[in-house]
Structures are given as structure tokens and as C-alpha cells.
Amino acid sequence: MKKLVLFDLDNTLLAGDSDFEWAQFLIGKGVLDREVHEARNLEFYEHYKAGTLDIQAFLDFQLAPLARHPRLELDAWHAEFMSAHIRPLIGAAARALVQRHLDDGALTAIVTATNSFVTGPIAEEFGIANLIATVPAQQEGRFTGKARGTPAFKEGKIERVAGWLESIGKWWGSFEQSWFYSDSLNDLPLLARVSHPVAVDPDETLRAHAASRSWPIISLR
């Protein structure tokens, strides 16, 4: 296996943001107060798009609801969330791109700042076995509302990928070629680390950066 292929998730493989959609889903169910949480959710999302997100403050906000409910209830909600919010955001082009790399025998992973509770079933939906995501801490089967370890965000994505590769007996040099697909300026560190960076429906900053370096720019929409 000489090829490593990494995918960002939100606004890359998905035509939307799973973290944002999860909060909106909980608001829609009445689990979160709309007036309080919707404005805060939008504020964090705008900071993310601008590259100014305080990841720790965001995680404290986004993971807190997980700590308030039993895991079985959360899992049931997530199944509903997948059907109503996520599958409609998965296009044929995104599925085909993933399948092409899987068929090519590449080692593949989704690398996302969104927590693994939200994104685990989404990775499964794409048939990708490896997920490198921010980890919501648990204690005796319940979420604590805090993150564990380094969030998979900005430079943290490089650290987390390196740790994952080490855990399976590999390193960056194990691969003749490596890809990372992303839409976001926040992913410039990891995009610069691989041999084949690809901008997918990119934000304006990433589009300009990619164009100046002759990186491929593609659309999955």
C-alpha cells in the first residue's frame, strides 16, 4: 500500500457542515434553546470560515449537549440526524471520488475537526474505515462535555495523522504519494504536508492559495 488519501469532511465530502447541522438538529428537536444556541452556533461557524475560530471555546460549546443525555438516546437521535440532515448532503461525485481511491487500494481516512460521535457514522456511510476526528471524552459510557487530546484542527490534524500512522506501524515516508482533499483555509497546514493537495469547492482564501501554487481545484457539488 503506497498511497495515502485523506479527506476533510465538512463542506468537502459533505455539501454542508455536520457540526453545524447537528446543533441545528438538536435545536429543531427542542433539545437546545433556539434563541440561545442558534446565534452562538452561527457565530462559531462564521469564525471557522474566517480562520479565526477558538477551537477550545467551540468544543466547550459543541460538546456540552452530549453530556446531558444518555448514550442510547444520543444514538437514536443520530440515526434520525443521518437520515434527515446528512445523507441529503452526500452527492454522487463525493461517493465516486472516495470509491475510486478505495478501489485503487489506497489507505484512506477522514480527518475532521468535528467530533467522532457526530462523524463516525458518516465515515461508515462513505465506506471509510479510518476516522481521525476530535475525540469527545467519556466516563463510564457517558460523554463528559470535554474533548480528549489534541483536536483535529489546523496543525493538530498533522499531529493526529502522524499519531495514527505511528499506531499502525507507518509514517509519512511509508507512502510514495499522499493526497488531502479540503475546502478550507484552516486546512492549509495539512494540505502543504501531502504530495497531492486538492482544493474542493474551496473558500476564497484557499482558492487563491491553490491557484498560486497550481494545486488542482475541483468541485463535488
DSSP 175-188: -SEEEEEE--GGGH
CA distances from residue 92 to 6, 15, 162 in whole angstroms, order as listed: 18, 11, 30
Torsion of CA 172, 208, 154, 68, to 10 degrees: -130
DSSP 3-52: EEEEE-IIIIIBSS-HHHHHHHHHHHTTSS-HHHHHHHHHHHHHHHHHT-
Instruction: Give strand pairing partners of 180.
Output: 6, 197
Q: Which residue in the list 8, 19, 183, 203 is annotated as catalytic?
A: 8
Active site residue 60: no
40-50 pLDDT, tens digit each:
888 988 998 88
One-letter amino acid for residue 38 of the chain = E
Match 474533548 to its residue by C-alpha cell: 147
User: At residue 1, does pLDDT exceed 80?
Assistant: no
User: At residue 160, does pLDDT exceed 90?
Assistant: yes
pLDDT computed for residue 77 by the predictor:
97
128-149 pLDDT, tens digit each:
999 999 999 999 889 999 999 9
Which residues does 67 contact at the CB level (< 8 Å), separation at least 6? 142, 143, 144, 145
User: At residue 198, does pLDDT exceed 80?
Assistant: yes
74-128 pLDDT, tens digit each:
999 999 999 999 999 999 999 999 999 999 999 999 999 999 999 999 999 999 9
Query: Domain count of the chain?
Result: 1
CATH number at residue 196: 3.40.50.1000
Q: Note whether 212 and 218 are within 8 A (CB).
A: no
The helix/strand/coil state of 202 is coil
User: Do the bridges between strand 131-139 and strand 142-148 make them parallel or antiparallel, or are there none, so unpaired?
Assistant: antiparallel
| Range(s) of the domain holding residue 27 | 3-218
The alpha carbon of 29 is separated from its chain's Cα centroid by a whole number of angstroms, namely 23
User: At residue 32, does pLDDT exceed 70?
Assistant: yes
Active site residue 10: yes
Q: Which residue in the list 10, 183, 187, 203 is annotated as catalytic?
A: 10
